Copies of this chain bind each other. A is one copy, B any other.
Amino acid sequence: MSGGSDEGPRRVGRPRADRLRAPSGRPPREELLCAAAELFTVRGYAATTTRAVAERAGMRQATMYHYFGGKEELLAELLESTVAPSLALSRRLLAETGRPAARRLWELCRSDVLLLCGGPHHLGALYLLPELHRPRLEPFRRMRDELRAHYRALLDAIPPGAEPAADGAALALRGDLIFGLVEGVMLVRRCDPARPVAALAEAAADAALRIAGAAPAR
């Protein structure tokens, strides 16, 4: 955690042995993504060189370039992995029109929190990088927009309860707040990494239904 800029100007010499990781048995591509996830989240994206990623994964930089075009490609792939499973789930849930929408929204929220907070690395920290606007990250941004639209669609499908129905603008805002809550849980969890994720995920899903104006589905 200390230092952080010691990889800055490229140095000549052998990689330090303590930086090399024992072979994990993982395929090289996966090993590189793991190394990048660790370094980007612990040391920071800007402060991490592709050389440091390669070393951490136990391979030479030239070998790394065989698998990834560069640092931005590693970042893009990591970011997409934080959305792709939730997007696949939300597509399935949207199609299950025979089941109550509140229950489906609850499941999406719970699963999304588990995905965002559950992995070994705090990939959500990458959501606030200034690099997020770069063209290479357009697919990630599109996937996240689509997921957000699915949150809204599930919310729209919840029949109005005892309270008066909200208008379109209010509903859109509420959908975005639920989306913000789910992503905001990452910020809570970061302060308190010992907190069990399962309870947090269910509480967040309950809270989302409260925002939706539907009774918690449990």
A interface residues, Cβ below 8 angstroms from B: 1, 4-5, 8-9, 41-47, 124-131, 133-134, 141, 144-145, 148, 170, 173-174, 176-177, 179-185, 187-188, 190-192, 199-200, 203-204, 207, 210-211, 213
> Chain B nearest CB: distance from A82 CB in Å?
12
Q: Which of B130, B170, B199 contacts A41 (CB 8 A)?
A: B130
> Chain B nearest CB: distance from A173 CB in Å?
5
Q: Give me 29 A-to-B residue pairs in the complex whose CB atoms sit less than 8 angstroms apart, sorted by A's number.
A: A4-B46, A4-B131, A5-B46, A8-B8, A8-B9, A44-B45, A44-B129, A44-B130, A44-B131, A45-B46, A46-B46, A124-B128, A125-B128, A125-B129, A127-B128, A170-B203, A173-B200, A173-B203, A174-B203, A177-B204, A177-B207, A179-B188, A180-B185, A182-B184, A183-B187, A184-B184, A210-B210, A210-B211, A211-B211
Q: What 11 additional pairs, Cβ within 8 angstroms, besides A1-B134, A127-B128?
A: A41-B130, A44-B44, A44-B46, A44-B131, A45-B46, A125-B128, A125-B129, A177-B203, A180-B185, A182-B184, A184-B184
Q: Which of B41, B46, B126, B148 contacts A191 (CB 8 A)?
A: B148
Contacts of A145 in B (CB 8 A): 191
Contacts of A199 in B (CB 8 A): 173
Closest Cβ neighbor of A134 among chain B residues: B1
Residue from the set A47, A126, A129, A210 with the largest chain B CB neighbour count within 10 Å? A210
> Chain B nearest CB: distance from A203 CB in Å?
5
Contacts of A5 in B (CB 8 A): 46
- CB distance A42 to B8 under 8 Å? no
A148 CA to B184 CA, complexed, in Å: 14
- CB distance B1 to A130 under 8 Å? yes
> Chain B nearest CB: distance from A38 CB in Å?
11
Closest Cβ neighbor of A148 among chain B residues: B191
> Chain B nearest CB: distance from A152 CB in Å?
12
Closest Cβ neighbor of A181 among chain B residues: B181
A173 CA to B148 CA, complexed, in Å: 24
